[in-house]
Every structure is written in structure tokens, then in C-alpha cells.
Structure 1
Amino acid sequence: MTGQSSAGSDFEAAVAELRATAFRADITVREIPAPQSLAPRAIALAADVRPDESGDSVYGTGRFVLLHDPEEPAAWDGAWRIVLFAQAPLETEIGTDPLLADVTWSWLMDALESRRARHRAASGTSTKTLSKGFGGLASEGDGAQIELRASWTPSGPFRPHVEAWAELVGMLAGLPPGSEGIAVLGARKAVRD
């Protein structure tokens, strides 16, 4: 087997592992088109927390991308890289908390640790946004949102990493582990990019 076909079969095995992952019932996960310019091979997933009939979520959303480049880019420190995005609307008072960005990053690290998702070379940003509607949007009032963008190089199986991402998306939306079927109060419509 050549190096190229071996890399392809490694990627196909990783894809099969991600596709076989079961998620909690109140987070809908689907495969979406992967970015083409980041790596020779990629798979992308999208998650929405308790989406409505049209597929939109007022609670939170996220994206998970597994990249594979057998050339092992130096910045990745390996042939695999995970890139994630998660966002959720917040109550305005929570959005002003000076520790919110730090807590959001710690939730990701805790989710990875709780799933035993070994990793290295982690990096990311946590952004909190406060907003106020004017004119035709004045009725929406004040709002806040938290957004986390992160990447790391996974070691070992991939399933724990995608499970940790789904846990983070749920946590940002106010769904702690084990809270399926429990009402979430105070959700606001998230602004989509």
C-alpha cells in the first residue's frame, strides 16, 4: 500500500468513526460541506441545540472540522487538526461577566479532559459580544453572545474529541451534561453570520 492510499484509508476510518458517534437527543448534528483550502482531506459537522421546525436554534450552534494533511504542517504538530466553532446567546448580565471568556475556554478544556480526548498544540479565542437594537431592530432590545473558536492536534481516537465539542455546544447553550428534556429559560434568537 502506498503512503497516499494509506493516508486515504486512515482518513476514511476517521470519517467512519465520526459518523458512528451518537449525540444527545437535544443536539442535532449533521454533516456539512468541509472547507477545501485548509487541508487535502476534511470532514465538517454542524450542531444546533434544540432546533425548531426550520432547523434554526435560539439556544446555540457549532461547527466541528477534522482536517488531515499527511505532510504534517509545522503549525499543526501532526497530520491531523481539529477546528471548532461554538456560539450561544446569553442574558445581557452574563455577557458582562469579566471572566466569561476564561470560563468558556475552561469548559472546552474540561470537556476534552472528561472525555479523555488527548490533544496538543491547542489554541483559540473566546469572544463575548454585547448588542443593542435600534430602528427596526429596537424591539429586540439588548443582547449578548459568546463565541469560541479553537483548534488542536488530536492524539488517539477521534470520537472523544467530537463528543467533547458537542458537550461544549450544549454547555454554552445552558444544557449541562445529563439535562436532556429539561427546559432552557431565557433563550434569544442568535444572530447568524
Structure 2
Amino acid sequence: MAAEPPPTPAPAFLRAAEDVRALAFRDDLVVDEIPAPQGLAPEALALAGDVRPDRATGESAYGTGRFILLHDAAAPDPWGGPFRVVTFAQAPLEPEIGTDPLLADVAWSWLVDALRSRGALFSAAAGTATKTVSKGFGSLEPEGEGAQIELRASWSPEGPIGPHVDAWAEFVCMLAGLPPGSEGVAVLGARKAARD
């Protein structure tokens, strides 16, 4: 017996995915579509973004992020609608910045400001900001001290999806130390590479 073909995606999801795939991003941020996580929603689209990645390795010493668009026509109650956005962004920091007690609050406010500046309407926003400071010992002592900020967030988008993706892209760059309008400008001070 032949396996059933996968269900046809909902027209609303197809339109949203088409809008996302048509977006252009600043040269400082390399964005690729990646396989979406399975089991979160009937339909999903995922993007990976890396700030100024190394041409040889493809890895970024500045920052990285993920954008996942989920769609469930049943509009789960916690979502308050058929779409949900799940994002992730992280960037290495200088150790003295990593100890700033307001760092997590600032990271969250940058995301909210990016959404508002793009006119991206949203509801049911939630998230966590995690900052870590580390120091190498033994054979890792040459790595010295490092810090990292990581923000995980989700919200229910209202209206077109494009502004939400634009806001995420702006936020990833800001977290990596590239404010709006700084495309092609050198980043002052080398940031520590993120630790695994």
C-alpha cells in the first residue's frame, strides 16, 4: 500500500512563506532557509541568520539567529491566532559587558523596539534572555574570559509576516554590535568567539 502524500499546505501559510522567501537582507547578515523543526505545528518555515560569517567556515564570530514561522489553522488558544513566531539570537560579548545587570533587559527591549519600528503587530509575546560569563582554566586558560548573550522569544504575529522577519534580522545584527544603518562599517573591538 502506497504512503499517502503529505497534505497540501494551507493557502495562508503558502502566502506567508512566499513573502518571507521574497525578502532581501542587509549584506552584513547571511540568511538561509533551513529545515524547520518537526512536531511544533502542522506547517513551519525556518531561517538561519549569521552576522558577517567567515567565508571559509561559514561561522560567525559576531552573532547568529534563527527565525521559525509556525502555522496551525486550528489557531491554538495560547497563540491567539493561526501563526506563531519562535526566534533565537546569540552573540559573544566582551566580559565587562556580560556583567552589566541590565543586559538582559536591554536585549529584550531591542527586540520589542525592532518589532515596533517595523510596524510589526504582535500579541502574546514571551521570552528569556540569558547571559553567561566564562573563564578558561587548564588547557583552556589561553582562551581567557568571555561572555555571551542569548535571547529566545516567541510571539503571535498579526498582519503581514515580512515586518516580523525584518525586525528579527535587525535585532540579530544589533545584538552582534551592528546598529541600524551600520552596514559595511567596521566593528570596533574584537569580540570573543562564542564558546561551545
Decide which of 15, 18, 21 is 2:17's aligned counterpart: 15
Counterpart code for 2:10:
G
Distance 1:58 1:133 in 2: 18
What are the superposed Cα offsets for residues 38-86 of structure 1, whole Å, 9 maximum, x if unpaired?
0000000000000002110000000000000011111111110000000
Identify the residue that residue 191 of structure 1 maps to in structure 2: 195
Shift, 1:9, TM fit:
1.4
| 1:140-182 Cα shifts (integer Å, max 9, x gaps) | 1110000000000000000000000000000000000010111
Residue 151 of structure 2 is matched in structure 1 by: 148
* 1:94 is the counterpart of 2:129: no
Residues in 2 aligned to 1:90 and 1:163: alpha-carbon distance in whole angstroms: 23
Deviation at residue 8 of structure 1 after TM alignment: 1.3
Q: Could you list the runs of 5+ residues in structure 1 that have no partner in the other structure?
A: none
Aligned runs of 1:35-184 on 2, under 5 Å? 35-53=37-55, 54-184=57-187
Q: Secondary structure at the match of 2:194?
A: coil
Matches of 1:12 and 1:30, distance apart in 2? 18
Shift of 1:134: 1.6
> Normalized against structure 1, the TM-score is what?
0.95
Tell me the equivalent position of 2:31.
29
**Over aligned residues, Cα RMSD in angstroms?**
1.1
What 5-or-longer segments of structure 2 have no aligned partner? 1-6
Say how many residue pairs are matched: 188
Percent identity over paired residues = 65
Deviation at 1:136, TM superposition (A): 2.1
Q: TM-score, normalised by structure 2?
A: 0.93
User: CA contact under 8 A between 2:120 and 2:158: conserved in structure 1?
Assistant: yes
Q: Distance in 2 between matches of 1:112 and 1:156?
A: 12
Tell me the secondary structure at the aligned position of residue 103 of structure 1: helix
Which contiguous aligned blocks of 4+ residues in structure 1 show a shift greater than 3 angstroms? none
